[in-house]
Amino acid sequence: MTQTVTFRAPDRSKAKFFPVLNKRVNAYFQDNGISKNGNAKMVIKTIAMFTIYFLPFALILAEVVTNPWAMLGLTAIMGIGLAGIGMSVMHDANHGSYSSKSWVNTLIGHSLNLVGGHAFNWKVQHNYLHHTYTNVHGLDQDIREKGVLRFSPHAPLAKYHRFQHIYSFFLYGLMTFSWIMFKDYGQMVEYRKRGLDKVIKANFWAEVANLIISKAFYFGYILVLPMMLLDINFLQWFAGFFMMHWVAGFTLAVIFQMAHLIEETEHHPFPHGTGTIENQWAIHQLETTANFGTDNTILNWYCGGLNFQVEHHLFPNICHVHYKAISKIVRDTAKEFDIVYNEQDTLGTAMASHVRLLKKLGRGEEVIMNHQHA
């Protein structure tokens, strides 16, 4: 079972890294009298992201904009808002860092259901599997081989993977579309079979009901309303729906891939035998995670601090509005303990590194791997 896999720190000289870092980060908040949760900036950002998503939709439904190409452009803007809600709103809430009040986190976290996803599945895949077993083949579903894409050097290699650096970015755009249309249902069954609903202490049948109701509501307003109110056919509706999700999927995939799938991040095989990963969990996060474009103000605001992925993986319980402030503490402490701190100057350099990694993985070339496992 997945939950029997454990981390063990063999290097005693680095064993104090996370306790020391945690103490220093806590001291930053205590000394400055700052809450680790969200603040007014988060509220403003939440309003902004929902506006970017719902305002274009309202303009379409109210027939303020009737030109077909302009309407298609508005659905692309909705995709930007959709990705923004995912990265900057529901992400913090489902990590419990949006607010100090659990009911607020639950409510805001279900904004994912409002835009067609399912919070339960996301928590299992992201909070548990990805955050615990980052870049571990067979455990981290974010690097699971997806059709014609190979994201791990431990995954099977096929001839068509040789061209994945060319076709991957188009397929990235299908991410949220596949979630909404297919993946959510399969994940519910898979996670139930693996007992992962119990790991995150969820009521499975309540979540099944939640899935059915929220999907019905989503398709009610995103499909039924436009078909009832507008003089369009199903093909026209589908073009807008697909455009929205392609833009959202592409945006989300690019941001997430740059954080874990670049040349400098490590990859681990499935821990067979005793089920032990020979590393301290916090150090494992640093070795498999990377920051990028952290001086880009627009990127920092829009992608919910996910370009500060190192800080996010070490402190998912801290709202992303604080990541830039604590990044210096993390960087300096990592240097003090001689631990890698992966960082790319810009989104562009991260994307270039990602493409080079895709080429290597597609051709079976050597990439950074950690073979220390039981």
Please check whether residue 324 lies inside any domain of the structure. Answer: no
User: pLDDT at residue 354 above 70?
Assistant: yes
Query: Is the separation of the CB atoms in 117 and 91 below 8 Å?
Result: no
- The count of domains in the chain is 1
Query: Is the separation of the CB atoms in 343 and 294 below 8 Å?
Result: yes
Instruction: Give the pLDDT confidence of 50-73 residue by residue, as tens digits.
Output: 999 999 999 999 999 999 999 999
Across the range 79-94, mean pLDDT stands at 97
Please check whether residue 341 lies inside any domain of the structure. Answer: no
Instruction: Give the pLDDT confidence of 317-340 residue by residue, as tens digits.
Output: 999 999 999 999 999 999 999 999
User: pLDDT at residue 1 above 60?
Assistant: no
Please check whether residue 82 lies inside any domain of the structure. Answer: yes
User: pLDDT at residue 2 above 60?
Assistant: no
- Give, to the nearest 10 degrees, the angle between helix 17-32 and helix 323-336: 150
Please check whether residue 371 lies inside any domain of the structure. Answer: no
Distance CA 55, CA 65 (A): 12
pLDDT value at residue 116: 96
Least reliable range by pLDDT among 10-14, 215-219, 282-286: 10-14
pTM of the model: 0.92
Please check whether residue 106 lies inside any domain of the structure. Answer: yes
Distance CA 122, CA 167 (A): 26
Query: What's the burial of 283, exposed, middle or buried (CB within 10 Å: 0-12/13-18/19+)?
Result: buried
Please check whether residue 30 lies inside any domain of the structure. Answer: no
Instruction: Give the pLDDT confidence of 121-138 residue by residue, as tens digits.
Output: 999 999 999 999 999 999
Residue 14 pLDDT grade (very low, low, confident, very high; cuts 50, 70, 90): confident
User: pLDDT at residue 5 above 70?
Assistant: yes
Please check whether residue 216 lies inside any domain of the structure. Answer: yes
pLDDT value at residue 147: 82
Residues spanned by the domain of 104: 2-21+40-277+350-363
CA distances from 148 to 158, 165, 273 (A): 8, 11, 29
Residue 373 pLDDT grade (very low, low, confident, very high; cuts 50, 70, 90): very low
Residue 271 pLDDT grade (very low, low, confident, very high; cuts 50, 70, 90): confident
Please check whether residue 273 lies inside any domain of the structure. Answer: yes
User: pLDDT at residue 231 above 80?
Assistant: yes
pLDDT value at residue 17: 95
Q: Kindly report the average pLDDT of the chain as a whole number.
A: 93
User: pLDDT at residue 85 above 70?
Assistant: yes
Across the range 262-286, mean pLDDT stands at 89
Least reliable range by pLDDT among 125-139, 231-245, 261-275: 261-275
Query: Is the separation of the CB atoms in 216 and 119 below 8 Å?
Result: no
